Amino acid sequence: MTPGEILNGLFWLFLIFTFLSPYLQRQALEAARTRTLLALERRRKSRVITLIHRQEAINLLGIPVVRYIDVDDSEEVLRAIRLTDPQVPIDLILHTPGGLVLAAEQIALALLKHPAKVTVFVPHYAMSGGTLIALAADEIVMDENAVLGPIDPQIGEYPAASLLALVKTKPLEKIEDATLIKADIAAKAMKQVEAVAEKLLAEHMDPEKARTTAKLLSQGTWTHDYPITVEEARRLGLPVSTEMPREVYLLMELYPQAQMRRPSVQYIPMPYGKGGTP
């Protein structure tokens, strides 16, 4: 074999490896996720479902995609619930900025109907629609520094509560028809979300407390990205625990962010004891 043929063969091997490498890495990652899910299911004797939204590199160009709760998610979660025996507990791992109200409500109401215990794990954050889903749980397990968020509806780029405030404070003749229509939709959306939240909360607290908490969460009390900490969630009456299983953290490590830029956070990934550096 001539040197030219050897180089040509090496070139084609390199090209094949370059094309197959992302696929093989993806398969290895999926296998690791499955092993971790099974370990958690065996430990807790439950069905574990993940709803994790991060930016993940896709295809050969590594284009990041911003994820949020959508109808595809609700279809898959509902299917997982249908495949679960009524007597088997469900553990849902939530990491999401929120998403479509319809999809979040479908998931929350399906979890509410499940006869066995439903636990939602929040290792970092579950905002907006993620919080609405968490309200359906018998227990919400949060990392000590994790947060939930308000569930007030957003109409396009504007908070529903702010549109209603505008209509109340500005003369009607100076408000555009499109804004008035949005305000009407905003009023209906807030009423609908509050009703769903109250229904979810009434399963775990007395009716009056459920009504008060649902109103507080859905009526624009805070900005939409306001962080509801463990302590505040408990003050709201939510069934919050901080006993997070180790497997949940391990699973989150298997959902890396897309490496499209130089990382802004860096550390040695080892646990440090009282003595400091190992």
pLDDT digits (tens, 9 = 90+) for 215-231: 999 999 999 999 999 99
Q: In angstroms, rounded to a whole number, what is the distance separating the alpha carbons of residues 69 and 61?
A: 24
- Are the C-beta atoms of 91 and 46 separated by less than 8 Å? yes
Q: State whether residue 78 is helix, strand or coil.
A: helix
Contacts of 137 (CB under 8 A, 6+ apart): 92, 111, 118, 119, 120, 239
What predicted TM-score, i.e. pTM, was given to this entire model? 0.84
Q: What is the pLDDT of residue 59?
A: 43
**253 and 157 fall within a common domain:** no
**92 and 203 fall within a common domain:** no
The band of 247, judged by pLDDT with boundaries at 50, 70 and 90, is very high
Number of CB atoms found within 10 A of residue 243's CB? 8
- H helices of the chain, in order, are 3-44, 71-82, 101-113, 129-134, 160-169, 177-201, 207-218, 230-235, 246-253
**48 and 109 fall within a common domain:** yes
Decide if 196 is inside a domain: yes
The band of 28, judged by pLDDT with boundaries at 50, 70 and 90, is confident
Q: Does the pLDDT of residue 267 top 70, yes or no?
A: no
**93 and 135 fall within a common domain:** yes
Which of 91, 81, 94, 78 lies closest to 129 in space, CA to CA? 94
**40 and 176 fall within a common domain:** no
The band of 63, judged by pLDDT with boundaries at 50, 70 and 90, is very low
Q: In angstroms, rounded to a whole number, what is the distance separating the alpha carbons of residues 218 and 22?
A: 43
Q: Name the residue with tokens 């094309």.
A: 19
**179 and 142 fall within a common domain:** no
Decide if 71 is inside a domain: yes
Report the share of the chain in percent with pLDDT over 70: 79
Q: In angstroms, rounded to a whole number, what is the distance separating the alpha carbons of residues 126 and 184?
A: 28
Measure CA 221 to chain center.
Answer: 22
- Are the C-beta atoms of 265 and 241 separated by less than 8 Å? no
- Are the C-beta atoms of 91 and 50 separated by less than 8 Å? no
In order, the DSSP letters of 155-208 are ETTEEHHHHHHHHHHS-GGGS-HHHHHHHHHHHHHHHHHHHHHHHHHTTTS-HH
Instruction: Give the domain extent around 162.
Output: 151-223
The total number of structural domains in the chain stands at: 2
